[in-house]
Amino acid sequence: MVRWLDKVSNRRLGWATSNSFLRFIAVLCIVLATSVPPLELLPFASTAPFAAIGLFGLGITTQDGAAIVLGLILAVGAFVLAGMGLIG
């Protein structure tokens, strides 16, 4: 698994791994983590925020901005799905 991850991850999208953007990611991780308890009311809804946090961690560790961008997309999707599920 680690060998596959080494082959797939590269240093790309440097703006996503810059120090200023990493502060934004840290705040976003806090917001995602605090959104999990209300999401426990919906089955499997807490999986999306945790997957986004995992992708952020992977992107930061390997300095791969593509993983961070995928995490951002997943985080937005998690907020949209949570909003639809909790409101509707």
The model's confidence at residue 52, banded by pLDDT at 50, 70 and 90, is very high
The model's confidence at residue 85, banded by pLDDT at 50, 70 and 90, is low
The model's confidence at residue 81, banded by pLDDT at 50, 70 and 90, is confident
What pLDDT digit, counting tens, does each position of 2-18 carry?
Answer: 788 778 877 888 888 88
Please say if the pLDDT value at position 61 is more than 80: yes
Looking at residue 86, what is its pLDDT? Answer: 62
Question: CB-based contacts of 13: which residues, under 8 Å, 6+ apart?
Answer: 64, 65, 66, 68, 69
